[in-house]
Structure 1
Amino acid sequence: MSGDDIEDDSEDAGTEGESNRVPVLLVRGDREYLVEPGGEQGTDLGVLEVPTDVQSGDTIETHLGDEFQVRRLRGPDLFHHFERTGAPMVPRDIGLVIGETGIAGGDRVLDAGTGTGVLAALLARAGAEVVTYEQDAEFADVARENMALGGVADAVDVRTGDVTDEVDALEPSSFDVMTLDTADAPAMVEHAPDLLVDGGFVAVYSPFIESTREVARTAREVGLANVTTRETIQREMQFDDRGSRPTTAPVGHTGYLTIARNE
């Protein structure tokens, strides 16, 4: 075997360790299956039995002799394989949040509007400790399962409830970044100067211009600096024998991202 070790860090993890193993991707062409080490997956090409000591880069054959490649589950894969409770933030927008705020190892993030949990999971995989709030109890349960799937359950504290009701219980100046994807984001922006460390950032994502305008106005009123709002949009390029141009598919608009800093 070769590649990155996927198995639990403990050589003698036992039953508990086996239940906590992060699944791997088994890939062949356009087929892609998520399976835990030691698990089994039936396919139209035969049954795949995944060894407990599986590593990325391995090749596994079905009982009929068809080969699948093993890949380690990476951040962008979570977007496709997390159980969804709504439309999650797309990876390119998460990249903007990380790039604009500089989230890195050792940071503490307050996240509101957990939803599927893709954002919280990717922030944790970047090294941050995340406290995230989800109002819907069922959605919160799904998010906790997704954090386990993504291997970040220890780094993400999924709390059920409305973060605006919990503000007084949060320690002042204890967060490096706030990420908000909720309709009541302006109400939380009001508390950003108290909750963020000096130089900390707030990042607010919204699909609507009206709420985005209110977020920007509130951020300026409470004294946040460098308030900037951008539309997140990308165009895929198309290359063929006739020439090169942006694809004629619908424009890749996803939403509006407002960034501000606590000075």
Structure 2
Amino acid sequence: MSAYLLVHAESDREYLRGPGDELQTDLGVLEVPDDVEHGQVLETHLGEPFHVRRLRGPDLFNHFQRTGAPMMPRDIGLVIGHTGAQSGDRVLDAGTGTGVLSGYLGRLGANVTTYEIDAEFAENARENMSMAGVSDRVDVRTGDLTDNLDELAEGDSFDLITLDTADAAEVVARAPELLVPGGYVAVYTPFVEDARDTELAAREAGLGGVETLETIQRELTVDDRGTRPSTAGVGHTGYLLFARRVE
């Protein structure tokens, strides 16, 4: 069952809790009813109000238990926008990590099979999928995707492959065996050398529409003096490769 976001509007504090859970903070103790609904206002024993909100994608990024640096929402948005990921899609994913991308896709209605090589990371991702309410659509498997490519290639084809692994080029090379005609592959890589390797692998595999993008985003600073790009923070997150089985 999906958790809910409990928001204390005055302090901007947010917590994820499911029906029947207990929240303990310096604002008091709050018991979440089994029949809690979106839009309710619950009060702690000290009378502090918390607004109940239904989870949305960015809440997964902000509140999942992390096992590393998850993919940023802006990069996930590009993956969804460039591939047209949608309800009913069969998705093959690798490098689950925290599971933010898998959670987003699951909440879109896609059926995701995702591989995580680290057993502890995989177990944490399963707990996150339960919190997101998508355990029935996201199958988190412990293991190396590259060890399972032959078996997967003999099964039903996938509409989309998403990768965030150092050996992504090896999987991209076999994408035509795994994808439906017109299916997409999307690869996130933090290093330009890996981005080059995946693009070359996509071309060699005969995939079409091959493109690699660097994702850069800058926040605007708006004040009484005027508006300009912020000088704080790093605008670059990584590189995204997109390609498509054309035949």
TM-score interval (norm. to shorter): over 0.9
**Long gaps (5+) in structure 2:** none
Check if 1:98 corresponds to 2:80: yes
Query: For residue 69 of structure 2, what is the aligned residue in structure 1?
Result: 87
Query: For residue 245 of structure 1, what is the aligned residue in structure 2?
Result: 228
Mapped partners of 1:208, 1:163: distance in 2 = 21
Query: For residue 47 of structure 2, what is the aligned residue in structure 1?
Result: 65
- Tell me which of 185, 193, 196 is aligned to 2:168: 185
| Of 208-217 and 51-60, the range deviating more from structure 2 | 51-60
Deviation of the 1:243 alpha carbon: 0.2
Matched residues, number: 243
For residue 95 of structure 1, give the secondary structure of its aligned residue in structure 2.
Answer: helix
Check if 1:27 corresponds to 2:10: no
Superposed CA RMSD:
1.1
Query: For residue 147 of structure 1, what is the aligned residue in structure 2?
Result: 129
**Long gaps (5+) in structure 1:** 1-20
Check if 1:41 corresponds to 2:23: yes
Mapped partners of 1:71, 1:214: distance in 2 = 43
- Tell me which of 147, 168, 186 is aligned to 1:165: 147
For residue 14 of structure 2, give the secondary structure of its aligned residue in structure 1.
Answer: strand
Measured against aligned partners, the alpha-carbon deviations of 1:180-238 in whole angstroms (never above 9, x if no partner) come to 10000000001101110100000000000001001001100110011001101110011
- Tell me which of 76, 83, 104 is aligned to 2:58: 76
The amino acid that maps onto 1:22 is S
The amino acid that maps onto 2:182 is G
Query: For residue 117 of structure 2, what is the aligned residue in structure 1?
Result: 135
Deviation of the 1:32 alpha carbon: 1.2
Deviation of the 1:177 alpha carbon: 0.6
Mapped partners of 1:57, 1:46: distance in 2 = 20
Q: Is the 8 A contact 1:27 1:71 kept in 2?
A: yes
Scaled by the length of structure 2, what TM-score is found? Answer: 0.96
Runs of 4+ in structure 1 over 3 Å off: none
Deviation of the 1:26 alpha carbon: 1.2
Check if 1:205 corresponds to 2:180: no
The amino acid that maps onto 2:244 is R
Deviation of the 1:175 alpha carbon: 0.3
User: RCO (CA 8 Å, sep 6+): is it higher in 1 or 2?
Assistant: 2
Deviation of the 1:172 alpha carbon: 5.2
Query: For residue 221 of structure 1, what is the aligned residue in structure 2?
Result: 204
The amino acid that maps onto 1:24 is Y
For residue 138 of structure 1, give the secondary structure of its aligned residue in structure 2.
Answer: helix
